[in-house]
């Protein structure tokens, strides 16, 4: 491994040396100060375009328009011919030739034509390499800065929900920094993760979801460290086409985050402050019947006694308040530009005494060192802290919501006069939920640095090069403390401390050569290399039996302690060739060699290929003459790409791991139950996609359509081994799956005048996932699902597979002699149903697929209205055709705990006594339809233009988020997953924090 790593490093360093040997010193002539000014408006309505970029092509000199569409900047340039460029997302880029001579004042008013599909947008498809979107044969989506803020979201991944086709954004928890999962075109692995690769300004960053202390599915993901106010735009590349350039770490797609940079000119300041309120959207119906059984276990004894019932939800749910402040300044001159910002977020959760606090500082600087060389530097420091309330969930028995589920709500949860909390879970040891929020002390803190340096060199008129070195480092530390004499399963106290140090860097060099072959054909050749390294250290200690007052684990009886370390290297190089014909036909091909130290020495280097085609049919005369009055733009595209997947294997998983042990009092090593495989190979992915982009009715309506099919082979799955081997399983390349789907984007401007405009965007995405092959048995249960989510050949990933109701031939429930439902029985080997002479179920309990957590489709509808200085935005998100396993109701309905509404109906005589207990092991009962339509965003804004001297604009906003959910789910919220960012365990609702309803008022001042 060291030899291969050394070869990769030498190759990468050789490319760096080539860059600097190729650069020659260029001299500069005498410059003259020029002043550029003008106004930018919408061509069809005459409305000023605020925030448009105006710059001199091939320089860093430029600015952005103010709220009235005006721009002005100065530059020292040599007299001659230049190109003035005006661009803004949603408009066609306009290039204006200018001649600089004796006159020092250059005035140009510019009108931009709307481009709803952003085909003229320059997007980045390989670190810092920008290409025109019309040349691409694969779909790429963009989200602009104004769509990421002023929407009630506190994190970037929250903000993009519903704004991108093919991206299923699921908030797994309503905790203030609760994790979020993004799936681009479905899951592409089983034992790995399907999160996309995240890149910030060329830096590959970690979005890990480390749960250092068990919080019941409330793991933070590290994208919570990125301040949305610092983001200029986000570009998302889906599928294997991305991986051909970025490597196998991008096999699940790429989310590229570009932060704001300065423009030359006077300093521009922006300050915003938001105050918000978070609240529970709805409560679960609970047992409010003021009676209790005298003998709960005897079905025939219906005698009751009066009791007082308590709504325990009131003991741990409450309103949370938040405050967010952001200050930024940008500016510079023709040599140096800068963007600086500082931010603070303090956001309370709807679980009492939970919050998330984030402080951040950001700096981006661009320096024009020479006419041929630009140097960029970026620095971001973030410190976040959180107060967390555990909610039990999958692994732990303590926690607030877990305590609620297991509690008898006829017990008063409040402490007595001496401050002692009563036990509310009478039959199974669990926590009084009120004690959990008032006495437990769980928290996390993170210190993170994200920094980079970049070199962009124009070696000749045809040859350019760019180099990026990016570093991402964070320390995450978590502590947990449960005091003595509590109601949890640790009455003698509990303490845990766990820390992670995560360091990674990437070093990327790309050379690009552009040249015309003929007057009609242009060629672009790109050669690139990348070296990446990540290092991960973790340490933890857990103890109980704490002395009085003491909160540290080392002072108690140590239950567990551990340390782990991981180092992984990734390397790759690629060559890409593109041809353009008359600016209407583009052909692209690429080859990439990818490697990772995690795989066997004979398998770690893999070759992947990509090909694509883009054809702007509307540039042809026959199209203009036939369809031109209706279709202004029509582009067809297609692509094919290959990739590997490197997420399913940890650093040393190919080895048979040995653990320290003691035998007869002597130190020894014992092998794990999983056998290693030194020849293990990466998972492979092939994807084909094709589609079209169309602009209709003078570009007032845009339509984007994509079809894709993805085949994943060599999936890494555990194979069961014979006992004679001495091992239980071995991870092997023995599975296949596929994703097939459609993506549709519709964007239109039904009305646009000087005073009023109406813009509408609709998205629709459909993905069908199927596990097509599972060697060695055809199915297995996924860990962390209580053996409920399964991998089954021929079914979607993670389907629910458990016991189901016995039914009559007409589909009605087959009841026993006492009138209670029962599980289906029969022969588990054949699946044949068994019946005795009385027609009752006989044999072993049978299981089948009883639900699917993967949605049939998801989409959104966004309407934006603007009248003079008022604007109104409403966004509806829909996720349809998926199931949730409601573990909460399985407990609440059971007589052993009895806090649910259905159990109260049993006591009231409206249901059979102990019906809930009879249903407890018939898992079909607890699978519910999770389909929902949510009022995701509702925002009203008012701009006060130039209210004071030196103040450009004041914007007042009132925002609501997750205000209404139209669904039939009996739980708190169907948008939940207690298993967190798990790839296969989805639709799992057990003691998870529901997503809050948020109200926000904000003020933004620009000056």
8 Å CB contact between 48 and 69 = yes
- The H-or-E segment that residue 240 falls in is helix 240-246
The pLDDT, as a whole number, for residue 806 is: 97
pLDDT bucket at 23, cuts 50 / 70 / 90: very low
Rounded Cα distance between 478 and 497, Å, is 6
* 3-state SS, residue 605: coil
Residue bearing tokens 């992984």: 568
pLDDT bucket at 905, cuts 50 / 70 / 90: very high
Picking from 88, 83, 84, the residue whose alpha carbon sits closest to that of residue 53 is: 88
8 Å CB contact between 894 and 926 = no
Residues 441-461, mean pLDDT to the nearest whole number: 94
Residues 292-303, mean pLDDT to the nearest whole number: 94
pLDDT bucket at 434, cuts 50 / 70 / 90: very high
The pLDDT, as a whole number, for residue 27 is: 38
Note the pLDDT tens digit of each residue in 769-818.
999 999 866 889 998 889 999 999 999 999 999 999 999 999 999 999 99
Note the pLDDT tens digit of each residue in 968-996.
999 999 999 988 888 889 999 999 999 99
pLDDT bucket at 305, cuts 50 / 70 / 90: very high
Does pLDDT of 587 surpass 70?
yes
Note the pLDDT tens digit of each residue in 38-62.
999 988 778 888 888 888 887 767 8
The pLDDT, as a whole number, for residue 122 is: 64
Q: How many residues does the chain have?
A: 1007
The pLDDT, as a whole number, for residue 967 is: 97
Note the pLDDT tens digit of each residue in 221-251.
889 999 999 999 998 888 766 666 677 777 8
* 3-state SS, residue 787: coil
Which residues are bridge partners to 1007 per DSSP? none
pLDDT bucket at 118, cuts 50 / 70 / 90: low
CATH of 31-114, one of 3.40.50.300, 2.60.40.1120, 1.20.1050.10, 3.40.50.720: 2.60.40.1120
The pLDDT, as a whole number, for residue 393 is: 61
Token reading at 405: 């589920």
Which residues are bridge partners to 561 per DSSP? 541
- Give the class (CATH, top level) of 141-280+317-399+440-802+851-882+930-1006: mainly beta
- The H-or-E segment that residue 437 falls in is helix 433-439
Rounded Cα distance between 157 and 134, Å, is 27
Residue 772 to residues 380, 715, 734, 768, 868, Cα–Cα distance (Å): 44, 11, 11, 12, 56
Q: What DSSP string describes 78-129?
A: -SEEEEEEEE-TTB--EEEEEEESS--EEE--EEE-B-TT-TT-EEEEETTE
Give the max Cα distance, the chain.
107
Rounded Cα distance between 945 and 937, Å, is 25
Average pLDDT for the chain = 89
Instruction: Give the torsion sign (CA, 843, 845, 850, 852).
Output: negative
Where is pLDDT greater, at 987 or 393?
987
8 Å CB contact between 789 and 799 = yes
Does pLDDT of 739 surpass 80?
yes
Note the pLDDT tens digit of each residue in 661-696.
777 778 888 888 888 888 888 889 999 999 999 988
Residue 263 to residues 98, 297, 329, 457, 935, Cα–Cα distance (Å): 20, 75, 11, 19, 37
Residues 15-26, mean pLDDT to the nearest whole number: 41
Does pLDDT of 11 surpass 50?
no
Does pLDDT of 127 surpass 80?
no
The pLDDT, as a whole number, for residue 356 is: 96
Q: What DSSP string describes 514-561?
A: EEESSSSEEEEEEEEEEEEEEEEEEEEEEEESPPSS---GGGSEEEEE
Residue bearing tokens 């009715």: 697
Which range among 234-238, 314-318, 496-500 shows the weakest confidence by mean pLDDT? 234-238
The domain limits of the chain are: 31-114, 141-280+317-399+440-802+851-882+930-1006
Distance from the Cα of residue 395 to its chain's centroid: 24
Q: Could you check whether 31-114 and 141-280+317-399+440-802+851-882+930-1006 share the same CATH topology?
A: no
8 Å CB contact between 842 and 935 = no
* 3-state SS, residue 918: helix
Token reading at 860: 């959104």
Segment of 581-590, 652-661, 841-850, 946-955 carrying the highest mean pLDDT: 841-850
Rounded Cα distance between 1006 and 364, Å, is 19
Token reading at 430: 């669990």
pTM equals 0.89
The pLDDT, as a whole number, for residue 136 is: 81
The pLDDT, as a whole number, for residue 908 is: 96
758 burial level (CB within 10 Å; 0-12, 13-18, 19+): middle
Rounded Cα distance between 1 and 792, Å, is 36
**Angle made by CA atoms 737, 742, 746, in degrees to the nearest 5:** 155
Does pLDDT of 621 surpass 60?
yes
The pLDDT, as a whole number, for residue 364 is: 96
Percentage of the chain beyond pLDDT 90 is: 59
Note the pLDDT tens digit of each residue in 68-110.
889 988 888 888 889 998 888 778 788 889 988 888 889 999 9
The pLDDT, as a whole number, for residue 705 is: 95
Does pLDDT of 336 surpass 70?
yes
Query: 3-state secondary structure string, 17-50?
Result: HHHHHHCCCCCCCCCEEEEEEEEEEECCCCCECC
Note the pLDDT tens digit of each residue in 501-546.
999 999 999 999 999 999 899 999 999 999 999 999 999 999 999 9
The pLDDT, as a whole number, for residue 836 is: 94
* 3-state SS, residue 87: strand
């Amino acid at each position: 491994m060291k030899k291969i790593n050394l070869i990769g490093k030498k190759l990468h360093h050789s490319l760096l040396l080539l860059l600097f040997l190729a650069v020659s010193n260029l001299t500069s002539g005498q410059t003259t100060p020029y002043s550029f000014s003008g106004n930018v408006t919408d061509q069809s309505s005459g409305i000023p375009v605020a925030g448009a970029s105006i710059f001199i092509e091939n320089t860093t000199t430029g600015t952005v328009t103010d709220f009235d569409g005006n721009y002005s900047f100065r530059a020292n340039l040599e007299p001659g011919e230049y190109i003035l460029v005006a661009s803004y997302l949603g408009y066609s880029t306009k290039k204006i030739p200018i001649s600089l001579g004796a006159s020092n004042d250059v005035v140009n008013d510019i009108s931009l034509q709307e481009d709803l599909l952003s085909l003229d947008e320059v997007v980045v498809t390989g670190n810092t390499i920008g290409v025109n979107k019309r040349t691409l044969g694969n779909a790429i989506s963009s989200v602009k800065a104004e769509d990421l803020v002023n929407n009630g979201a506190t994190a970037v991944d929250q903000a993009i929900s519903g704004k991108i086709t093919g991206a299923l954004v699921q908030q797994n928890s309503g905790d203030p920094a609760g994790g979020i999962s993004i799936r681009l075109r479905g899951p592409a692995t089983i034992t790995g993760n399907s999160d996309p690769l995240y890149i910030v300004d060329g830096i590959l960053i970690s979005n890990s979801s480390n749960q250092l202390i068990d919080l019941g599915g409330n793991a933070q993901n590290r994208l919570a460290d990125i301040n949305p106010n610092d983001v200029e735009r986000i570009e998302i590349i889906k599928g294997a086409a991305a991986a051909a350039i970025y490597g196998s770490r991008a096999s699940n797609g790429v989310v590229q985050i570009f932060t704001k940079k300065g423009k030359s000119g006077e300093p521009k300041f922006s300050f915003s402050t938001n105050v918000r309120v978070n609240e529970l959207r709805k409560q679960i119906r609970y047992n409010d019947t003021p009676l209790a059984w005298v003998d709960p276990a005897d079905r025939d004894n219906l005698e009751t006694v009066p009791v007082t019932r308590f709504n325990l939800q009131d003991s741990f749910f409450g309103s949370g308040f938040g405050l967010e402040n952001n200050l930024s300044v940008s500016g510079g001159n023709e040599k140096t530009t800068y963007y600086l910002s500082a931010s603070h977020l303090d956001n309370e959760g709807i679980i009492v005494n939970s919050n998330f606090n984030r402080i951040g500082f950001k700096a981006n600087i661009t320096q024009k060192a020479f006419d041929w060389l630009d140097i960029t530097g970026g620095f971001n420091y973030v410190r976040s802290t959180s107060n967390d309330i555990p909610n039990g969930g999958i692994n732990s028995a303590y926690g607030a919501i877990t305590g609620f589920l297991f509690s008898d709500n006829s017990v008063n949860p409040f402490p007595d006069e001496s401050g002692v909390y009563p036990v509310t879970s009478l039959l199974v040891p669990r926590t009084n939920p009120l004690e959990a929020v008032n006495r437990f002390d769980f928290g996390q803190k993170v210190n993170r640095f994200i920094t980079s340096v970049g070199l962009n060199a124009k070696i000749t008129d045809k040859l350019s090069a760019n180099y990026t070195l990016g570093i991402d480092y964070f320390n995450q530390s978590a502590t947990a403390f449960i005091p003595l004499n509590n109601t949890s399963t640790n009455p003698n106290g509990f303490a845990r401390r766990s820390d992670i140090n995560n360091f990674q860097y990437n070093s990327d060099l790309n050379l690009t050569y552009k040249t015309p072959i003929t007057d009609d054909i242009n060629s672009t050749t790109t050669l690139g290399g990348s070296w990446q390294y990540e290092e991960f250290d973790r340490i933890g200690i857990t103890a109980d039996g704490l002395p009085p007052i003491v909160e540290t684990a080392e002072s108690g009886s140590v239950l567990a302690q551990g340390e782990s370390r991981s180092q992984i290297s990734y390397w790759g190089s690629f060559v890409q060739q593109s041809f353009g014909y008359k600016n209407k036909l583009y052909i692209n091909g690429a080859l990439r060699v990818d490697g990772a130290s995690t795989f066997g020495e004979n398998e770690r280097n893999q070759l992947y290929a990509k090909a694509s085609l883009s054809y702007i049919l509307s540039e042809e005369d026959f199209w203009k003459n036939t369809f031109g009055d209706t279709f202004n733009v029509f582009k067809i595209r297609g692509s094919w790409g290959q990739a590997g997947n490197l997420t399913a294997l940890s650093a040393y998983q190919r080895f048979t791991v040995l653990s320290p042990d003691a035998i007869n009092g002597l130190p020894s090593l014992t092998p794990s139950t999983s056998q290693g495989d030194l020849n293990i190979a990466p998972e492979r992915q092939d994807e084909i996609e094709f589609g079209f982009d169309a602009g209709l009715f003078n570009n007032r309506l845009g339509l984007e359509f994509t079809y894709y099919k993805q085949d994943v082979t060599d999936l890494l799955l555990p194979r069961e081994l014979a006992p004679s081997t001495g091992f239980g399983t071995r991870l092997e390349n023995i599975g296949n799956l596929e994703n097939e789907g459609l993506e549709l984007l519709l964007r239109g401007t039904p009305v646009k005048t000087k005073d009023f405009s109406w813009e509408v965007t609709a998205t629709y995405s459909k993905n069908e996932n199927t596990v097509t092959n599972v060697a060695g048995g055809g199915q297995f249960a996924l860990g962390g699902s209580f053996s409920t989510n399964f991998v089954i050949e021929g079914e979607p990933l993670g389907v629910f597979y458990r016991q189901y109701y016995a039914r009559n031939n007409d589909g009605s429930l087959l009841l026993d002699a006492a009138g209670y439902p029962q599980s289906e029985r029969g022969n588990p080997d054949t699946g044949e149903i068994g019946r005795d002479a009385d027609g009752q179920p006989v044999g072993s309990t049978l299981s089948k697929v009883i639900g699917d957590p993967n949605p049939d489709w998801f989409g959104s509808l966004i309407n934006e209205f603007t009248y003079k200085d008022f604007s109104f935005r409403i966004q509806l998100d829909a996720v349809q055709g998926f199931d949730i396993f409601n573990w909460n109701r399985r407990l609440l309905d059971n007589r052993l705990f009895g806090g649910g509404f259905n159990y109260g109906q049993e006591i009231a005589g409206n249901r059979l006594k102990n019906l809930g207990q009879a249903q407890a092991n018939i898992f079909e009962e607890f699978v519910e339809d999770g389909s929902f339509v949510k009022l995701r965003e509702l925002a009203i804004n008012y701009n006060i233009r130039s209210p004071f001297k030196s103040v450009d604009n004041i914007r007042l906003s009132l925002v609501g988020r997750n205000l209404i959910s139209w669904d039939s789910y009996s739980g708190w919220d169907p948008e939940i997953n207690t298993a967190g960012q798990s790839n296969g365990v989805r639709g799992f609702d057990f003691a998870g924090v529901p997503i809050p309803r948020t109200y926000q008022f904000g003020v933004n001042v620009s000056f």
